[in-house]
Amino acid sequence: MTRRRMIVLAAAVASAAITLVVVVRWRQAPEIPTFTVTESPFRRHVTAEGELRALKSTPVTTPVRIRRPVRVATLLPNGSRVKKDDILVTFDPTDFENEMRDGQSASGTARNNLERQDMLSAATSKNLTLDANQAQREYDAAQQFASKDVEIFSRFVVIESQIDQDLALQRRDNAENNKTTRGQQAAADRQIAEIERRVAEIKIDGAREGLDSLVIRAPHDGVFVLKPNPWDGDFVKVGKTVWRGMPIGELPDLATMEAEIFVLEADAGGLKSGVPVSLVVESDGGRKHEGKIKSVEPLARPRTRGVPVQFFSAIVEIAKTDPAVMKPGARIRATLILEKRDKAIAIPRNALFERKGKRVVFRRNGGSFVPVEVTLGSASPGKVIVEKGLKPGDVIALADPEAEKEARQ
C-alpha cells in the first residue's frame, strides 16, 4: 500500500468517527418538554389560619374604679363555665389596705390639728381681746385725766400728758391690728389643716372604692375566655400587674360565632367582602363549614411581634354555627376562593422567562421556538393567567430552548 493511499484511508476513518460522534450527541440531546395552551376553568384559592370568636360577647376588664395598678390574686381557668355572680377574678388588697391605714392615720392627725388650731386660735383671740380692751381703757383714762390747761399746768406737764395719750392710742391700735393679723394667720392654719383632712379623706375614699372593686363577678351565665392584651399579646395570669380598663377576658354568646383569619400579604390580591370561605375546625376531624368574608383590615400587619411577615386580618361570617364543636379560641383552617373564571388561558409558571426586562414564553414555530411577549393576570400557586399573547392550540416550551441549545453546543 502506497503512502498516499494510507493517508486517504486515515482521513476517511477520522471523518467517519466525527460524523458518528455528532449523530450520537444529536440523538442523546434531551427533548424540550412542551405544554399545549387550552382554555379551561380557573380557580385561585389560598389557605389561611385563624381562630373562632363569638359575634357578641361581654368584655371582662379591670374595674375603672381601681385608680392604681393592682396584682391578680386569683383567676378562673380559661374556658370555665360560669353562672351569674360567680367570681371570675380577684385582686390583691394589700396596697389598698395600706392606703386605707395611711389615710385613716393622716385623717386623725388632720382632725387633731384642727382641734389644736381651734383651741389655740380661741386662746390667742381671748388674750388679744384682753390686750385691746386694756389698751382702750388706758387711752380713755389718758384722755379723761389729760393735763391740757397751760394756765394750770406747766408746759412740760401738758406735753407729757399729750405723749401719754398718743402712746395709749398707739397701744390700742397695735392691739387691734395684732388681733386681726393673728386671726387671719389662725384662719390660714385652719384651712391648711382642713386641706390635709380632705386629702386624707380622698385617700380613704379611693382605698375604700378600690377595696370594693377587687372582685369581678360574672354578669351572666356563659364561658369565661381569657383574652390577650393589645400591648404585648400576653394573657393575664395570677401575680401579673394590671391597670384599670385593661382587658382580661370575655363572656361570649355561643349561639353565633365568627372567625378571624390571617391571609399572607402576598396572597391577598382579591381579598374583599363577600369572598366565599370554606373552613375546618381543627378539633372537628376535617368537617367543612361554609362562610364568607365580612370585613378586611385595610393595612397588613405582623401576626407575631418581631417577625416581619405581614398578614391581612379578615373576619369570616359563618353560615351556620355548630355550638357542639365551635368554641371561642378554637383554631381553624380556611380556604378562600379569591378568583373564579369559567374560561381562562393558564400556563405553568415554569413556562415563563424574562428577556430584556419583559416576560416571554417560547412558542413553537415550525421546528424551533420563538420568544413571544405575554401580558399576565392573576396567579395561583402553580399557574398564571395569560391575558394577552397566546391563544388555544399554541405549544410552548417548559424549559428555556436557548439554554438547552447552549448546553448542547
Give the count of beta carbons closer than 10 Å to the beta carbon of residue 226.
20
Give the count of beta carbons closer than 10 Å to the beta carbon of residue 243.
14
How far, in Å, are 362, 368, 383, 387, 395 from residue 372 at the CA level? 6, 13, 18, 13, 12
207 shares its domain with 104 = yes
Domain membership of residue 107 (yes or no) is: yes
pLDDT of residue 21: 42
78 shares its domain with 66 = yes
Which residues face 368 on adjacent strands? 365
Domain membership of residue 113 (yes or no) is: yes
pLDDT of residue 369: 92
Residue in this structure with the C-alpha cell 375603672, named with its chain if needed: 64
Contact 386, 375 (CB under 8 A): yes
Q: Which three cell numbers stand for residue 300?
A: 397588613
Chosen domain end from 212, 236, 263: 212
196 shares its domain with 134 = yes
118 shares its domain with 258 = no
- pTM of the full predicted structure? 0.53
Amino acid in position 244? R
**Domain assignment of residue 144, given as a range:** 95-212
Pairing of strands 34-36, 395-397: antiparallel
159 shares its domain with 108 = yes
110 shares its domain with 179 = yes
111 shares its domain with 88 = no
166 shares its domain with 237 = no
How many structural domains is the chain composed of?
Answer: 3
CATH code of 83's domain:
2.40.50.100
SS3 at position 103: helix
Q: Which three cell numbers stand for residue 182?
A: 393673728
Chosen domain end from 212, 233, 266: 212
Consecutive sets of 10 residues in the chain, 409 residues long: mean pLDDT of each? 56 51 43 89 88 89 85 90 91 83 80 78 77 76 63 64 74 77 77 81 78 86 83 84 89 89 88 92 89 93 86 94 86 89 89 90 90 87 87 91 67
104 shares its domain with 200 = yes
Domain membership of residue 407 (yes or no) is: no
Contact 322, 315 (CB under 8 A): no
Domain membership of residue 223 (yes or no) is: yes
- Concatenated DSSP letters of 192-233: HHHHHHHHHHHHHHHHHHHHHTSEEE-SSSEEEEE---TTT-
Chosen domain end from 340, 365, 390: 340
Domain membership of residue 100 (yes or no) is: yes
Burial code of 330-365, b = ≥16 C-beta within 10 A, e = fewer? bebbbebebbebeebbbbeeebbbeeeeeebbbbbe
pLDDT of residue 409: 54
193 shares its domain with 326 = no
Domain membership of residue 285 (yes or no) is: yes
On the CB side of 193, CA atoms within 13 Å amount to 17
Domain membership of residue 231 (yes or no) is: yes
264 shares its domain with 290 = yes
Domain membership of residue 295 (yes or no) is: yes
pLDDT of residue 29: 44
121 shares its domain with 87 = no
